Structure formats: C-alpha cells, structure tokens
Amino acid sequence: MYQKCGLVVACIVLSVAIARAQETTGGSIAGKVVDLQGLAVPGATVTIITPQGEQTFVTDGGGAFFAPFLTPGLYEVKVELAGFKTLDRQNIEVRLGQRVELNLQLQVGQLTESVTVEGDAPVIDRSSTTTGIVLDSDALQRIPIGRRFSDTLYIAPGVSSGGQVGDVRWQRARECLCR
C-alpha cells in the first residue's frame, strides 16, 4: 500500500519537474477569463499573437487557458466570445522560464445578428421563345362560369385573338387564378 502511494507521489513530483523544465527554454502565458461579476467564462477563444504567428486556445469550464512553449518577447492576447466585447491586451512580456498569469475580464457587448437570404434564380430556357401554362382541374374550377373551353386559352401569357389580348372577363379570370 505504501509502495503504491510512494510511486504516485514520485510520478507527480517528476511531472511537475518536467513541466518546470519545459519553461526553462521559453515561457508561457496562463490565465483565467471572467465576466464583470467574476464568474468564469468557458468557451472563449483566446488568441496569442506571436512574432511567429498566432496560436488559438479555448477556455475550459473554469475559464482557464494555458499557452506553453513561448519564446521570450512581447505578445498580444485577444479574447473573443459572442455576446461580449473583444478584449485586447498588448505588450505582455514573456521572459525565459517565466509563466505570466493573466486575469482577463470580459465586458458584456451587444449581440449582433445577421440574416442571410439565399435563393435560386428561376429556371429560364434561353434556347426557346415559347411560353405556356398548365391548367389543371382545380384552376379550371376557379374560373368564373359562362365560358367556352377555347376561351380558357386566353389565360395563357401571350395568347391573343384578332390583335387583342383576351377580353376583360378573361383577365378577371386570370386574376382569380393568381389568388
């Protein structure tokens, strides 16, 4: 029993020593992101902007993040999360073997909402100049009574009789179909 406990303690001490040894060749930034009430903000995106490029981290359930293996120099830290204002801290100095601890407080921001409307253009056959209409039984039943079957042709676009496009009662019939 004591041998197992001793082995566990030795592993913990060894892992802490290894973690400290990693910081002797560089530095790190660790921190916690909280809101104005001091409550942890999980899921925030923390971007460490380095001379070599950007590194992105996400805060855990307790609002904590850790950026290891940073070369000594000046860094910029940017924190973003929907519903909060973006926080930007500049000139954070990381030294050799140092862990910089940051407490970053986000302020509530305005929620922005965007709506994207997508639609396809109607299908147009550019190779043909013909027009047409499909009259089903429901459409024919909505047309006012007192007509000849051949008069239903005036409902179709472009159909005319003697140089006139339909007559008034068929234009009314067309309006009924569109409702």
Name the band, by pLDDT with cuts 50, 70 and 90, for residue 53: confident
User: DSSP H helical segments within the chain, as ranges?
Assistant: 2-22, 137-142, 168-178
Residue 176 has phi, psi (to 5 degrees) of -65, -35
Q: Domain ranges for the chain, please list them.
A: 28-113, 137-178
Name the band, by pLDDT with cuts 50, 70 and 90, for residue 103: very high
Cα 70 from Cα 18, distance rounded (Å): 16
Closest CA to 104 of 21, 40, 56, 151: 40
Q: How do strand 45-50 and strand 53-58 relate by DSSP bridges?
A: antiparallel
Give the amino acid at 88: D
pTM over 0.75: no
Cα 60 from Cα 70, distance rounded (Å): 20
pLDDT tens digit sequence for 23-43: 467 899 999 999 999 999 999
Residues 6+ apart with CB under 8 A from 85: 106, 107, 108, 109
Distance of CA 113 to the CA centre of its chain: 10
pLDDT tens digit sequence for 105-140: 999 887 666 677 777 766 666 777 776 677 777 877
Write down the CATH superfamily of domain 28-113. Carboxypeptidase-like, regulatory domain (2.60.40.1120)
Name the band, by pLDDT with cuts 50, 70 and 90, for residue 54: very high
